[in-house]
């Protein structure tokens, strides 16, 4: 027998098998996790890059220590910090240690991102391990459903490594929270800044499992969001010095690890002048200089992508913080019966949703235009061969839904950017004087607040930015209500969209950029901010909204030309 760590092992067990057993069964898992990683990937983690420059970097030591000693770990870090790669190796090592009793869920904001990053890194961890390199094929990998299981048990469906994209909605939530393990249960959330609260709730539901641990990884963007709340220090953000602190215990009972680019291996151990950095996959001085030149020292991108820290207020952030959304929770009580109203974001492109929303406004809280949100309806339009064109189908569905709720055309507003012009033209002709709004237009000459000296054209880069900030002003003033926690999708979209200063004006990120970052468009939120625009046109802020009637026929012609090409079933995808 072999005696090691006060345990006895069979004589034919090698060092790796002993360390893997200890990782699955011993108390000091950090020591054994490191030893396993050293032996599985010696080319990555043992020896030196140069004299005095070890391959086992300080960030690797910190992440493996935090993972081994806390059930909940958040990791914030600079660009190209290697956090996803490191976490993939940690996860694979644990599965290898006790595959028969381990379930590991890998998740990210959307399917392409999951395949490209976390899932790909786990598969690479398997293929580059010393076991695979020696010819032993111990794992069965199924790329089509993103699962890994022991090769000797290819039909195993429970104790596996599985990849689940967050954009699968309720399916993702159900698969995570309903899959308990008799021993080891781990969840890794990549791109956690864009992950919905329901996924965090589903993962935390597994806390009762014997050995449950989860890690949330992200570039830090919004300390007021759901991910930010898991990073918040026990004694608040003011207790942390961004120039010094690299880890701290969190208010929600875990640990936050921070990877500061200026303290990464390429800065701790810089290569000789004129030579390539020792760790080319990490940021170096050239990258830092590019960020500084392009965006400025202390800019939002400087803090996020160089310092691995939440950007200071005002540099980059979300328009609707958790505190601001808190102003809109309670339903507003009116002095007189309110007036029903509605908005539409047609969203013809890709898998964006066609969102019809309903609300009410009336006299309350010192204003004639206090607003309550009522509900969202996803318009699912089907075009039949020989039937009405698409624009007509959507327009008639909108008219039907509005009639059911008593909404008059003058209390309806919609975005007419792009293909929306056709639906607007039909509504204008068949229903009445509905309101239109062009998200892509220039900001107006109105004031954001009655006491402002500057106009919206002075403050914002384009009209959609003005819309979002105007809605925030209404919410801060207590003029928006009934946005309850049941409206998870709407609240998440409002909280997720970012803005920053560009050429001394506020600029909200584009739909395309947000979708690339998070995997979804803010369709519900865009429809919601239209309510404020409708109320401003009615008198909250006076504006002439006359639309030349000559525009209607041209838009009708465009509607027919566009819609006649649509002869297949049309259905906007679910979020």
Identify the band that residue 20 occupies on the pLDDT scale cut at 50, 70 and 90. Answer: very high
Residue 292 has pLDDT above 50, yes or no: yes
| Rounded CA separation 354/352 (Å) | 7
**pLDDT over threshold 60, residue 575:** no
Q: Which residues pair with 2 in a beta bridge?
A: 9
Looking at residues 355-365, what average pLDDT do you find?
95
**Selection from 574, 477, 572, 464 nearest residue 525 by Cα:** 464
Task: Note whether 305 and 294 are within 8 A (CB).
Answer: no
Residue 553: pLDDT over 60:
no
Are 318 and 499 spatial neighbours (Cβ–Cβ below 8 Å)?
yes
Residue 100 contacts residue 230 (beta carbons within 8 Å): no
Query: pLDDT class for 572, splitting at 50, 70, 90?
Result: very low
Q: How far, in Å, CA of 471 to CA of 327, rounded?
A: 12
**pLDDT tier at 124 (50, 70, 90 boundaries)?**
very high
Tell me which of 36-45, 106-115, 175-184, 453-462 is least confident.
175-184
Q: Strand locations in 250-318, DSSP E?
A: 255-259, 316-318
- Asked if the model's pLDDT at residue 51 lies above 80, the reply is yes
Task: Name the least confident of 157-171, 251-265, 311-325.
Answer: 311-325
- Rounding to the nearest 10 degrees, give the CA dihedral for residues 163, 167, 170, 171: -30
Containing H/E element for 516?
helix 511-518
Query: Quick one: pLDDT band at residue 197, thresholds 50, 70, 90?
Result: confident
**Does any domain span residue 336?**
yes
**Tens digit of each residue's pLDDT (9 = 90 or more) over 176-188:** 877 788 789 999 9
Q: Dump pLDDT digits (tens) for 125-166.
A: 999 999 998 888 889 999 999 999 999 988 899 999 999 987
Lowest mean pLDDT: which of 134-143, 243-252, 335-344, 474-483? 134-143
SS3 content of the chain, % helix, strand, coil (to 5): 40, 20, 40
Whichever domain contains 524, its CATH number is 3.30.420.240
pLDDT for the residue 313:
62
Q: Is residue 449 part of a domain?
A: yes
Name the residue among 452, 447, 440 with its Cα closest to residue 526: 440
Mean pLDDT of the region 45-73? 97
Q: Mean per-residue pLDDT for 35-45?
A: 97
pLDDT at 452 over 80: no
**Using H for helix, E for strand and C for coil, what is the string for 25-70?**
HCCCHHHHHHHHHHHHCHHHHCCEEECCEECCCHHHHHHHHHHHHC
User: Is 97 a member of any domain?
Assistant: no
Encode pLDDT of 511-533 as tens digits. 888 888 888 889 999 999 999 99
Q: What pLDDT is attached to residue 349?
A: 57
215 falls within a domain: no
Listed in sequence order, the residues at least 6 apart from 94 whose beta carbon sits closer than 8 Å to its beta carbon are 23, 24, 33, 102, 104, 184, 186
pLDDT of residue 558: 41
Answer whether residue 549 shows pLDDT above 70. no
pLDDT of residue 312: 76
The residues, ordered by sequence, that sit 6+ positions from 400 with a Cβ below 8 Å of its Cβ are: none
User: Measured between alpha carbons, how far is residue 552 from residues 343, 392, 555 in Å?
Assistant: 19, 15, 5
Does the pLDDT value for residue 569 go beyond 60?
no
Residue 505 lies in a domain: yes
Residue 293 pLDDT greater than 90, yes or no:
no
Q: Is the pLDDT of residue 391 over 60?
A: yes
Q: Distance between CA atoms of 574 and 378, rounded to whole angstroms?
A: 8
pLDDT at 570 over 60: no
CA dist 24 and 2 (Å) reads 18
> Residue 420: pLDDT above 90?
no
Helix (H, G, I), strand (E, B) or coil at 413: strand
pLDDT of residue 506: 83
- pLDDT at residue number 561: 43
pTM value is 0.65
Residue 266 contacts residue 248 (beta carbons within 8 Å): no
Tokens of 310: 């939440």
Domain that holds residue 423: 322-563
What is the overall mean pLDDT for the chain? 87
Query: Residue 548: pLDDT above 50?
Result: no
47 vs 301, more confident? 47
User: pLDDT value at position 563?
Assistant: 40
Lowest-confidence range among 280-294, 430-444, 535-549? 535-549
Cα 368 to Cα 170, 337, 341, 361, 570: the distances in Å are 39, 12, 14, 8, 40
Q: What is the pLDDT of residue 7?
A: 92
- 26 occurs within a structural domain: no
384 has pLDDT over 80: no
Residue 169 has which token pair? 């909605």
pLDDT of residue 383: 64
Torsion of CA 440, 446, 451, 453, to 10 degrees: 90
Q: Is residue 52 part of a domain?
A: no
Q: Flag whether pLDDT at 115 surpasses 50.
A: yes
Q: How confident is the model at residue 69 (pLDDT cuts 50, 70, 90)?
A: very high
**Alpha-carbon distance 216 to 72, whole Å?**
8
Predicted pLDDT of residue 534: 96
> Is residue 493 domain-resident?
yes
Tally of domains within the chain: 1
């Amino acid at each position: 027998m072999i005696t090691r760590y006060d345990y006895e092992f069979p004589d034919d067990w090698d060092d790796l098998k002993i360390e893997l057993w200890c990782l699955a069964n011993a108390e000091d898992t950090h020591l054994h996790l490191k030893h396993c990683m050293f032996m599985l990937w010696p080319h990555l983690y043992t020896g030196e890059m140069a004299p005095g420059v070890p391959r086992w970097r300080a960030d690797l030591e910190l992440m493996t220590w935090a993972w081994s000693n806390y059930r909940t770990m958040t990791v914030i870090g600079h660009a190209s910090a290697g956090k996803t790669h490191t976490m993939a190796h940690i996860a694979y090592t644990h599965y290898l240690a006790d595959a028969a009793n381990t379930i590991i869920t890998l998740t990210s904001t959307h399917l392409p991102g999951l395949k490209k990053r976390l899932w790909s890194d786990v598969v690479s961890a398997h293929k580059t391990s010393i076991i695979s390199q020696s010819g032993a094929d111990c794992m069965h990998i199924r790329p089509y459903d993103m699962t890994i299981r022991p090769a000797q048990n290819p039909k195993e469906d429970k104790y596996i490594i599985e990849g689940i994209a967050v954009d699968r909605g309720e399916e993702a939530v159900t698969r995570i929270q309903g899959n308990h393990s008799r021993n080891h249960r781990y969840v890794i959330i990549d791109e956690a800044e864009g992950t919905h609260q329901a996924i965090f709730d589903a993962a935390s539901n597994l806390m009762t499992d014997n050995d449950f641990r989860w890690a949330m990884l992200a570039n830090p963007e919004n300390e007021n969001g759901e991910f930010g709340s898991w990073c918040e220090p026990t004694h608040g953000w003011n207790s942390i010095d961004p120039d010094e602190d690299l880890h701290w215990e969190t208010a929600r009972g875990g640990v936050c690890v921070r990877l500061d680019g200026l303290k990464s291996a390429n800065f701790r151990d810089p290569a000789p002048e004129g030579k390539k950095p020792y760790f080319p996959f990490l940021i170096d001085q050239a990258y830092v200089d590019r960020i500084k030149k392009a965006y400025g020292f202390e800019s939002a991108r400087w803090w996020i992508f160089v310092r691995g820290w939440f950007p200071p207020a005002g540099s980059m952030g979300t328009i609707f913080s958790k505190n601001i959304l808190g102003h809109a929770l309670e339903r507003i009580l009116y002095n007189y019966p309110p007036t029903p109203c509605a908005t539409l974001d047609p969203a013809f492109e890709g898998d964006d949703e066609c969102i019809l929303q309903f609300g009410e406004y009336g006299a309350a809280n010192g204003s004639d235009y206090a607003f309550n949100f009522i509900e969202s309806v996803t318009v699912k339009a089907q075009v039949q061969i020989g039937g009405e064109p698409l624009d007509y189908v959507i327009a008639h569905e909108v008219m039907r839904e509005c009639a059911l709720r008593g909404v008059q055309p003058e209390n309806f507003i919609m975005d007419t950017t792009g293909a929306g012009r056709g639906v607007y033209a039909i509504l204008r002709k068949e229903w009445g004087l509905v309101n239109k709004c062009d998200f892509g237009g220039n900001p107006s000459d109105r004031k954001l607040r009655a006491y402002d000296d500057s106009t919206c054209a002075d403050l914002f880069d384009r009209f959609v930015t003005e819309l979002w900030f105007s809605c925030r002003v209404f919410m801060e003033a207590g003029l928006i209500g009934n946005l309850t926690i049941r409206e998870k999708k709407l609240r998440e979209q409002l909280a997720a969209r970012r803005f920053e200063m560009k050429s001394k004006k506020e600029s909200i990120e584009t739909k395309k950029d947000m979708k690339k970052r998070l995997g979804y468009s803010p369709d519900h939120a865009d429809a919601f901010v239209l309510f404020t625009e409708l109320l401003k046109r009615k008198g909250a802020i006076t504006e002439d909204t006359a639309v030349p009637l000559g525009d209607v026929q041209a838009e009708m012609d465009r509607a027919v030309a566009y819609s006649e090409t649509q002869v297949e079933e049309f259905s906007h995808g679910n979020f």
